[in-house]
Structure 1
Amino acid sequence: MVSGIVSYGVYIPRFRIRADEIARVWGGGDDISSSLRVFEKSVPDLDEDAVTIAVEAARNALDRADVDPKRIGAIYTGSESHPYAVKPTGTIVGQAVCTSSSFTTADFEFACKAGTAAIQACLGLVGSDMIDLGLAIGADVSQGAPGDMLEYTAAAGGAAYLIGKRDLAAQIEGFYSFTTDTPDFWRREGMPYPEHSGRFTGEPAYFKHVTSAATGLMERMKTRPEDYDYAVFHQPNGKFPVRVAKMLGFSKKQIEPGLVVPMIGNTYSASCLIGLAATLDIARPGERIFVTSFGSGAGSDAFSIKVLDRIEDIRCNAPSVRDYIGDAEYLDYAMYAKHKGKLRI
């Protein structure tokens, strides 16, 4: 029996800050927005963190397919902004969404691809019949130092996927990973903000790993870009996924439904997964989706996904990505700094 996606859910905070408001404080103006192709980003509320975002996304996934949470045998939460250095996020999520304590959990961290790594772990447990359902989550309240280029893109959001064998909304046909030790982005213990290697994060990191994972999967499955109706690539900004899609032979039309970064910013571990959710929100049975994540450090996971008939039954039972994007309240830089805890005493 094949494994795949039983349900999915997302959560994006309603607060936003526009890129030109950040530029008003630090300079750069329209040049930065047009260069990054990110025009606004999501901001967590004062009482929101990676845990609360993960819980909301998980609840939406359960509600969308009316799944009994007692069926969940594993919960893996991927994030690079877990609120505790020593204390699992997964136990809090499990307590909030499950009615049983009979599940295993662990926190994942691999920059922006920890969420797709969680999906792979769930696929292994489900595929070996060790559990009925696995809950894989990517959730982040990502950080950028004041005035740094990351501040224009580092956003907040989460996506949760229930992985199983029964009542599938989409089949995961195969996956392929490509990983190397490429130190393009890092944050040491105790540092409040990450550091990055500027343009180095592009060519030897993002583009090398995304193209290698994507071509590896297509070679393994003997598929081509034209075999897919949609494609989703990790979205650190608005230009990288467009460029890598072109490099691989995918069209702009294929990536447009999942390209949400210009409106909500880079949600890190949730970025690729929210793009996939936005695509599932409109995809029809029989259509195929090609997905490739990226995490600095560095690695990529590529997936081939086929949408099944059940998507029509569950699609409208929880908020869509576009529902969250449309529910926006804008902050000025002072309130944004307060929300993000940038004011330190």
Structure 2
Amino acid sequence: MNTPRECHSALLSIGVAAPSLRLPAAQVAAGWGRTGGRGQVAVCSPSEDALTLAWLAASRALDSASIPPEEIGGIWWGCTRAPFAEGPSLSFLGAALRLQTNSEAALLSGSPHAGIDALLAADDAVTSGRVRTALVIASDSILPALGSGLEAASGAGAVAVLLSAEGPALLGQVTTQWSPVLDRYRGDLETETREVYDGRLFREQVFLPLCQTVGSALTADPSSRWSLPDPDGRLGRTLGERLGSVKVVSTTARAELGDTGAAAPLLGLAAAMGDPGTLIAVGFGGGRATAISIQINAPVPGSSLVEQHLSGGQEVSYTEALRCRGQLSASGETVEMAVPPGSAMFVRGSHEMLALLGARCLACATVNTPPNVHPTCIRCGAIEFELVPLPLHGTVQTFVVNQTMPAPFVAPLPLIVLDLEDGSRISVQGASDGSDLHIGVAVDLQLRRYALERGVPIYGYAALVSTASENTIERPSA
């Protein structure tokens, strides 16, 4: 008998993020000489990945809760495909979110179950009293095997929640079941995710039995709303019928983004967190299934913005999506950075680049940027500073749009000089094609991936015109 245990933490807020591109399933089918194909999936642009989506979702959750980053006691991130297979993925994300460097941190990976793993690990930390406020993030950008059914099903997205001892929504019962069986997987030294070997065998003897077991073990009533895993666009509906024709609310996010892997369980419930009642999320992956209930007593801050932040995106062709995913690239030379990512410049300046820090002069209060290249104040020549976080809002002072760029950069690429709200001036890339820019226009800054250098993702900030959609349109180069 599968007896649920009780969680004891509460949700303070929620934030979500979606990439800027959408790939219709019909485009995938046409690329392989087939007809048909229903729905669409979300695809990351060249400057987006699982980390930039995680940053955006977490930033929105923090803003909705009005909690400064320094009050976060720990970060738990669930992600099937972190930017580094082995490396400082979590440290990069923590720095970009401006968290304390001594905060607790854990990266959960290995399967789409990682998002649920992160939530439960953070609940344990809050319940035990180790941290007062925990940041939980689940994000994914799945790279499907070419020619597989996953191409028309695998998407991208992110969700973040803040946990504490008290809040408008309470985590309730949780139950888990596992079986040592092979579902979809990615082997060592492989880059693409493989689909299941036998779809019917997987459905009838792996997916449905495990998910039914955990879903049926929770106490639910007919009014409960469910988020169900749906890796192929059909299994979610079948599971809902097996559970007794339950009310499934995750279909909206699934239809917009496709299967979002580790983010799917909570992302499917995000919009429903604005209405009181019982929510149940079922997560699956790696031969494991978990169901967890959430009691919504009052609207969760951030839930009213979910639909706005998930909708939109520009349609791209199959070949454009392949270029964005790095599965189709032109031959020839690429331009390398003059300074390797592991060099002293990056070791000394990485934190200030990721956290977007400036150095305020203690003598005249001038903010010097970037701190690492200004040992003396640019205004008075003093040598004593304090590091300060720079605002993520400003106005365009001047800009230029590069219409031709060498690989791996994508043209058109705007380069912008900004005057930030605190008076400091910085230079950043633009996140659009530049057609919406003009001198004096207000912009917001978002974390983006500038390049992939020697296997290392290089992150920086890109400017988006404030009045534009937050799902900024970016297209791969021709």
Bin the TM-score by the shorter chain: 0.7 to 0.9
Measured in 1, the distance between the counterparts of 2:110 and 2:79 equals 8
Task: Sort the Cα spacing of 1:99 and 1:325 in 2 relative to 1 into closer, same or farther, 3 A.
Answer: closer
Range with greater deviation from structure 2 (269-278 or 95-104)? 95-104
Aligned to 1:36: none
Q: Does 1:9 align with 2:15?
A: yes
**CA deviation string 1:177-220 (max 9, x = no partner):** 1112111222112112122323133222221211111123x2xx
- Match of 2:93, SS state, is helix
Partners of 1:6 and 1:164 within 8 A in 2: yes
Task: In structure 2, give the amino acid aligned to 1:207.
Answer: L
Aligned to 1:267: 260
Give the ranges of 4+ consecutive aligned residues of structure 1 lying more than 3 Å apart after TM superposition. 256-259, 313-316
**CA deviation string 1:9-53 (max 9, x = no partner):** 1110121011111111113322x43xxxxx001000101111111
Task: In structure 2, give the amino acid aligned to 1:81.
Answer: R
**CA deviation string 1:49-94 (max 9, x = no partner):** 1111111111011111112222222212111211112113221121
Selected match of 1:323 from 303, 308, 314: 308
Aligned to 2:238: 243
Deviation at 1:275, TM superposition (A): 0.3
Q: Does 1:27 align with 2:33?
A: yes
Task: In structure 1, give the amino acid aligned to 2:215.
Answer: A
Matches within 5 A, 1:173-252: 173-195=172-194, 196-199=196-199, 200-216=201-217, 218=218, 223-226=219-222, 228-251=223-246
Aligned to 1:46: 46
Partners of 1:229 and 1:288 within 8 A in 2: yes
Deviation at 1:325, TM superposition (A): 3.7
- Match of 1:185, SS state, is coil
Unpaired segments ≥5 residues, structure 1 = 34-38
- Match of 2:284, SS state, is coil
Task: Sort the Cα spacing of 1:130 and 1:325 in 2 relative to 1 into closer, same or farther, 3 A.
Answer: closer
Partners of 1:9 and 1:59 within 8 A in 2: yes
Deviation at 1:98, TM superposition (A): 3.0
Task: In structure 2, give the amino acid aligned to 1:6.
Answer: L
Deviation at 1:134, TM superposition (A): 1.4
**Larger RCO (CA within 8 A; separation ≥ 6):** 1
Aligned to 1:340: 325
Task: Sort the Cα spacing of 1:201 and 1:135 in 2 relative to 1 into closer, same or farther, 3 A.
Answer: farther
- Match of 2:73, SS state, is strand
Selected match of 1:305 from 294, 306, 310: 294
Matches within 5 A, 1:90-169: 90-166=90-166, 168-169=167-168
Measured in 2, the distance between the counterparts of 1:198 and 1:207 equals 14
Task: Sort the Cα spacing of 1:248 and 1:225 in 2 relative to 1 into closer, same or farther, 3 A.
Answer: farther
Measured in 1, the distance between the counterparts of 2:90 and 2:212 equals 31
Deviation at 1:2, TM superposition (A): 4.0
Measured in 2, the distance between the counterparts of 1:116 and 1:323 equals 24
Task: In structure 2, give the amino acid aligned to 1:247.
Answer: R
Task: Sort the Cα spacing of 1:276 and 1:110 in 2 relative to 1 into closer, same or farther, 3 A.
Answer: farther
Selected match of 1:276 from 269, 275, 279: 269
Q: Does 1:290 align with 2:280?
A: yes
Task: Sort the Cα spacing of 1:40 and 1:209 in 2 relative to 1 into closer, same or farther, 3 A.
Answer: same
Partners of 1:10 and 1:274 within 8 A in 2: yes
Partners of 2:49 and 2:141 within 8 A in 1: yes
Task: In structure 2, give the amino acid aligned to 1:284.
Answer: D
Deviation at 1:314, TM superposition (A): 4.8
Task: Sort the Cα spacing of 1:156 and 1:229 in 2 relative to 1 into closer, same or farther, 3 A.
Answer: same
Deviation at 1:257, TM superposition (A): 5.5
Deviation at 1:258, TM superposition (A): 4.8
Partners of 2:142 and 2:193 within 8 A in 1: no
**CA deviation string 1:95-143 (max 9, x = no partner):** 1113422312121114111011100000001001111111121111101
Measured in 1, the distance between the counterparts of 2:209 and 2:153 equals 21
Aligned to 2:24: 18
Over the matched positions of the two proteins, sequence identity in percent amounts to: 24
Task: In structure 1, give the amino acid aligned to 2:283.
Answer: S
Partners of 1:62 and 1:69 within 8 A in 2: yes
- Match of 1:209, SS state, is helix
Aligned to 2:449: none
Give the CA RMSD over aligned residues.
Answer: 1.9
Partners of 1:237 and 1:261 within 8 A in 2: no
Partners of 1:77 and 1:90 within 8 A in 2: yes
Measured in 2, the distance between the counterparts of 1:2 and 1:264 equals 31
**CA deviation string 1:277-332 (max 9, x = no partner):** 1222xx423x111111111x211111111102253x5544xx31x21343220111
- Match of 2:177, SS state, is strand
TM-score under structure 2 length normalisation: 0.64
Partners of 1:258 and 1:278 within 8 A in 2: no
Task: In structure 2, give the amino acid aligned to 1:336.
Answer: A
Measured in 1, the distance between the counterparts of 2:256 and 2:190 equals 28
Partners of 2:271 and 2:303 within 8 A in 1: no
Partners of 1:236 and 1:261 within 8 A in 2: no
Partners of 1:225 and 1:249 within 8 A in 2: no
